[in-house]
Structures are given as structure tokens and as C-alpha cells.
Amino acid sequence: MPDDVPTKPTLLTGASGALGRELARELGQAGWTLRLTDIVPFPDPLPPGAVFRQADLEDGVAILRQAEGCGAILHFGGISVEKPFETVAGANIRGLFHVYEAARRERARVVFASSNHSIGFHERPRGNEAKLDADCAFRPDGYYGLSKAYGELMGRLYWDKHGVENVNLRIGSCFPEPTDARMLSTWLSYADLVRLARAAVRAPRTGHCVIWACSDNPATFWGADHRERIGWRPQDTAETYRTRMEGKLSGDPVQERYQGGSYTAVDYTRDRPSARDAFALD
């Protein structure tokens, strides 16, 4: 068995989504034994060594059963865009609890698909201002981002109380190519995502850690994180697309001010921006 292939099966939630399908295909071709799950059917041919079972993240018993014998859980399931609170709460809050309970029972590592939207109301750095480090305050830009902050805190709790290792991937914008100027800072290529997931599962020890999941973009908003702990280095860059993308702005001052982009403008009702300091008065 190649050194990169885990000795135990890996559970991948959200397997039928865009990122889940990419991970399933690439990891399956690399020889990983995968257990795939999603609330909707898997739309592609199953990779070699993979099984798929349809399940709801809110079904704790189903998640426990699927995780039996697994060494890691790649948790990419749940609501992946901004939605009303009650929609987000089921899969992203109760469902996440079921994933961590399964990990606790199996002594499995959780690799959690967090998001830049957990910190989306931090303003974009200006000029030579310092980049945002991974230990910054949470500033979610909606209910989706709030659920991702909750997910990272769940990982913190399960590491401190139960010793469950977890790697929190603050995904920027993971698409085949950037689609606007903001993604010159936030883009994560599919290939870098796969390399990141492999490194997060295969690292000897991780503890509780947070990684800015973006490619090698000189314009990134983000600074220090824990990538050394897993030995990951992105190999792609959004700079390849600069000429085509740098003029593609939203025209919305709220979107352009904050790191979370369009999510910050959803239901935005303030008369003026909040302070750059997370705890300062206006």
C-alpha cells in the first residue's frame, strides 16, 4: 500500500456536492478506501474501493454506523451557502454534533470544511496592513458563516475535552477558476484542495488547527496559520487569471469592503460600517 493511502477507511460527508465529488474521484483513484454519504444520491460512477450510503446528517445513528472503523472523517456535508437560520441549523449545527460524536467513538480525526465566511466581516487589508492570522476573532457574515464558526469551536471543545484531533479548513473560493477580482485573493484550486485534504488526513499529529484554504495567491487577505503541522503547500495561484479578473468588481461598497464579499451584503441594514476593531464602539 502506498505511504499516502490511509490504513483505515475515510468517511466523506457531502460526497455528492461539487467539492465532495472532486475529493471522491481523486482520492478513490489514489487507492483510498472511501465511505461516501450525502442526503442526495451520488451522481457519478463510484470510485474504486468506495461505497455510498444516502443519509441525513441529522440522523445520528446513521452517521455513527457509517463512521465505524474509520480513521478520519472529511466533513464536507451540510448547507454550503447563506440560508435562513432554521435551514442552516439542522445539518450545520446538529449534524456537526453527530459527526463529532462519531469521531469521538472511533478516535477518528475530523477534517472540517470551514469557511472564510466565519471571519467575513473583517475588513480587507489596505496597502501594507498585516494579513489576518488564523487566531483572529470570529466575525461571521451570515448564518452560514456563524455555523462554520460554531464548527471550529466544536472542534476546539472535542480536542480539549476528548482529544479528538481536527483540522479546520477555512476555504476561500474553491472553483475550477476564479470568477471575479475578489478571488484573486481567496481562490483555492481543486488540485490544491485535494492536496490539502490528503495532507490533513495523513499528518502524524494535528491537534486542533486552522488552515487558510487558498492557493498561493500573492493578494491573499490571510497570514499565519497551522499548515506546517500537516506539511501542506499550495502549488497553484490565482495570479494566472489576474488580467481577466482584476476589473471584475461587484460595484457594491459593502461587498468590496469586507473579506466575505457578497455574503456580507445579504440583509445588510447598518447605516455605516462597524469598526475595524472587533470590539470597538463606532
Active site residues: 144
C-beta of residue 168 within 8 angstroms of C-beta of residue 112: yes
For 244-270, b/e burial (b = at least 16 CB within 10 A) is: ebeeeeeeeebbeebbbbbbbbbeeee
Task: Quote the CA–CA distance of 161 and 206 in Å, as a whole number.
Answer: 16
The partner residues of 11 in beta bridges, in order of sequence, read: 35, 73
Q: How many CB atoms sit inside 10 A of residue 163's CB?
A: 11
Where do the DSSP E strands lie in the chain? Answer: 10-13, 34-38, 50-54, 72-75, 109-115, 166-171, 173-174, 187-188, 208-213
CA atoms within 13 A on the CB side of 25: 14
